[in-house]
Amino acid sequence: MEHLLAAVDIGSNSFRLSIGRVHEEHGVRQIYQIDRMKETVRLAAGLDQNKILSEDAIQRAVAVLERFGERLRSFHPDRVRAVATNTFRVARNTPEFLPRAEAALGFPIEVIAGREEARLIYAGVSHTLPLSDHRRLVIDIGGGSTEVVIGKHDEPLLMTSLYMGCVSYSRRFFPDGYIDDQTMRMAITAARREIEVITKPYRKLGWQQSFGSSGTAKALFAILTEGGMSTDGITRDGLAKLRQKLVKAGKVIAQELPGIKLERSDVLPGGLAIMSAFFEELGIDDMKTGDGALRLGVLVDLAGREGLHDRRDETVKVFMKRYHVDSRQAARVKQTALSLFDSLFPDLPAQSELRHCLSWACDLHEAGMSIAQAGYHKHGAYILTNADMPGFSRVDQGLLAMLVMAHTGKLSKVQPQVRTRDQWVAILALRLAVLLCRRREELNRLALSVSVSNTSIVTKVDKTWLDEHPLTDYSLHGEEDEWDKVGFQFQLIPV
């Protein structure tokens, strides 16, 4: 099997587009990158003291995304995943900027959490490394955040996202490009304070190999090795020599640093300070570089979603155990809800994202009962909104939480969150399934059928069955009022 997938990494310093060819043979899946685009945007540099992204930075971003969008114009939406990182997470005007960015790209953009970014980075790096039984430390210094992961094989064991990056630290400590010994020490000390909170658990778990990924690590590797300051990648001694060289020059002089790219010059001091802090705080002696990082991790994850390795399925199973979900009841609700959903969308692919999300909502709709039965749907929605859920973007989690919130009680409380008519239909399928399975017994048959036309919902129920189930009859009539409040006409017709 071979086909193309595309990943867009909207970072705080650079925007990257990677197109990969997926090849699967004998159960082994490989991704070969066939096209790449990278543009330095310096998005994080556009943040002011109030965390507002400037119009100039927004226009730079939109222009790049329009170019990426042209390259992706022939791609089906299911074959493209665009993720945005720290600057999108912290900017207060992201809600206003995001629609412009999505319109320019032509595809939805997911603002991912720091831990999810760390997971995807590790997936990308591990995909390019040879097999090993060693634990690996991966450090990715981005423009606005730094992700730190210890993993073994393809599995991350510890993941952290720290709020510091090469752009933000260069702006904070070296705003005019001037470098002296005191300022460099201050920058390293500030970074060590950020790292200090993770030092103990990371050193306790330990690692045998360390890798740096993305621009800062690759720039330092090239400068140190090509400049004769190191013969073995990024080393503690090599970093010290580079710091001394920059302090002596008083600034970054690209002509005196073989291996540096011009667009990296302005953010090198901040990246160097952060990397030096990691070496000192975690006791690292040497580091190699790993290819792939976030953009390849997104491709790996996207390819897994198409196959049998969707990480989100594993996460849902873990959450079901963590929150003591009644798996038999969840299975009953899921079978009923998906049956209704499929009858309403006979032409929709079984692998559609909305169908997947409905399935996970069925699995987790009672997760909130681990907190309290009263208002359990609200507790469940809170958990799914705020928990770290590997594989899920914030958009995924928002939709999942909304479905869980909407599966019982008042519909008006979720009305502002529902974006499409199809999402209303998914809510309908879930509510009816929960209602029909209330007795927590296996259903011998589905005694009702549903059709939806515009804002009209027609539910036909076997009259004899309905007479034998007065509680269900009462509850179905209650749905008439709820759907009427959100603009739908719900008709219950005994047949």
Q: What is the pLDDT of residues 242-268, one digit of tens each?
A: 999 999 999 999 889 988 888 889 999
**pLDDT > 90? residue 6:** yes
Contact assessment for residue 144 and residue 90, using Cβ atoms and an 8 Å cutoff:
yes
Confidence tier at 168 by pLDDT (50, 70, 90): very high
Is 68 in contact with 61 (CB distance < 8 Å)? no
> How crowded is the C-beta side of 443, counted as CA atoms within 13 Å?
21
The 10s digit of each residue's pLDDT in 355-414 is: 999 999 999 999 999 999 999 999 999 999 988 787 777 778 889 999 999 999 999 999
> Does residue 1 surpass a pLDDT of 50?
no
Taking residues 194-208, report their average pLDDT.
Answer: 96
Does pLDDT of 345 surpass 50? yes
Question: Residue 342 in contact with residue 363, Cβ under 8 Å?
Answer: no
Cα separation, 443 vs 191, in Å, equals 59
CA distances from 148 to 143, 156, 372 (A): 14, 10, 35
According to DSSP, residue 295 is labeled H
Residue-wise pLDDT tens digits, 134-157? 999 999 999 889 999 999 988 899
The CATH topology of domain 310-444 is Hypothetical protein af1432 (1.10.3210)
Amino acid at 110: E
Classify strands 146-152 and 234-235 as parallel, antiparallel or unpaired: unpaired
Could you identify the residue written with the tokens 């399975």?
437
Residue 423 reports pLDDT greater than 70: yes
Number of H helices, E strands in the chain: 18, 14
CA 386 to chain centre: 13
Fold agreement between 115-294 and 310-444: no
The CATH superfamily of 115-294 is Exopolyphosphatase. Domain 2 (3.30.420.150)
Under 8 Å between Cβ of 9 and 83 = yes
Band of pLDDT at residue 309, cut at 50, 70 and 90: low
DSSP output for 36-97: EEEEE--GGGGB-TTSPBPHHHHHHHHHHHHHHHHHTTTS-GGGEEEEE-HHHHH-TTHHHH
CB proximity list for 347: less than 8 A, separation 6 or greater: none
Q: Which CATH architecture has domain 2-113+296-302?
A: 2-Layer Sandwich (3.30)
AA letter at 62: V
Predicted TM-score (pTM) of this structure? 0.71
Per-residue pLDDT averaged across 444-449, rounded?
Answer: 86
Contact assessment for residue 206 and residue 135, using Cβ atoms and an 8 Å cutoff = yes
How does residue 306 score in pLDDT terms, banded at 50, 70 and 90? low
d(CA 409, CA 344): 23
Query: How large is the average pLDDT for residues 112-123?
Result: 90
Residues pairing with 29 in the sheet: 24
pLDDT at 352 (0 to 100)? 80
Phi and psi at 128, nearest 5°, equal: -100, -5
Sign of CA dihedral 395, 99, 112, 352: positive
Asked if the model's pLDDT at residue 307 lies above 60, the reply is: no
Q: What is the token pair recorded at 466?
A: 């309905």
**Banded pLDDT at 187 (limits 50, 70, 90):** very high
Stretch 178-198: mean pLDDT:
97
234-235 and 2-10 strand pairing: unpaired
- State the average pLDDT over residues 298-307: 77
Is pLDDT of 330 > 70?
yes
In whole angstroms, what is the distance from residue 179 CA to residue 247 CA? 5
Amino acid at 443: L
Q: Residue 232 pLDDT > 50, yes or no?
A: yes
In the chain, where the domains are located:
2-113+296-302, 115-294, 310-444
Listing DSSP states for 310-340 in one string gives: -HHHHHHHHHHHHTT--HHHHHHHHHHHHHH
DSSP 134: S
Question: Whose CA is closest to 208, among 122, 129, 286, 118?
Answer: 286
Q: Which of 258-267, 414-423, 425-434 has the highest mean pLDDT?
A: 425-434
C-alpha distances in Å from residue 428, one per residue of 35, 142, 149, 316: 43, 43, 41, 22
Question: 44 Cβ partners below 8 Å, 6+ apart?
Answer: 12, 13, 86, 87, 143, 144, 165, 167, 168, 171
- Per-residue pLDDT, 28: 60
Q: Percent of the chain at pLDDT above 70?
A: 97
Bigger pLDDT: 234 or 444? Answer: 234
SS3 content of the chain, % helix, strand, coil (to 5): 55, 20, 25
Residues 10-57: pLDDT tens digits? 998 899 999 988 876 655 667 888 899 999 998 988 999 999 999 999
The DSSP H or E segment spanning 109 is strand 109-111
Q: Between helices 470-485 and 421-436, what is the axis angle to 10°?
A: 160
Between the alpha carbon of residue 125 and those of residues 5, 120, 360, the distances in Å are 18, 9, 28
Tell me the H-state helices in 365-457. 376-386, 394-406, 421-436
Q: How far apart are CA 74 and CA 83, in angstroms?
A: 19
- Give me the pLDDT at residue 129, please: 81
Determine phi and psi for 353, rounding to 5 degrees.
-65, -40
